[in-house]
Amino acid sequence: MLDALETQLGSTRYALGDRPSAVNTIVLGGLRAHANADPIPDLSGYTRILEWEAECDSWRLLGPADHLLGKPEAGTAVERCVEVPQ
């Protein structure tokens, strides 16, 4: 899975293309809760994944999806890790 995601992120901004999806938050949750905290697997060779994960903190929720997702509370993981293009 990591190899596939690394390859995908070489072509697109997000896990499934150039638009965000729920898959991004699911994968990021697993990375942050497990893979980034554990010594195995070693993610140091997955530079695109590490850059993508670090970039998550700059993503924002705004625009057309507000009515679908509801406005998340400030500082929550949803607010920090979901970006909806306008």
Whole domain around residue 68: which residue ranges? 2-81
Model confidence pLDDT, tens digit, residues 2-30: 899 999 999 998 888 887 788 888 888 88
Number of domains in the chain: 1
Quick check: is 68 in a domain? yes
Can you give the pLDDT at residue 29?
85
Residue 67 domain-assigned (yes or no): yes
Query: What tens digit of pLDDT does each residue of 15-71 get?
Result: 888 877 888 888 888 888 877 677 777 888 999 998 988 887 776 554 545 444 555
Predicted local confidence at residue 67, as pLDDT: 45
Cα atoms in the Cβ-side hemisphere of radius 13 Å centred on 36: 14
- Assigned domain for 86 exists: no
**pLDDT, position 31:** 85
Going from the C-alpha of 73 to that of each of 9, 22, 50, 55, 82, the distances in angstroms are 29, 18, 26, 20, 13
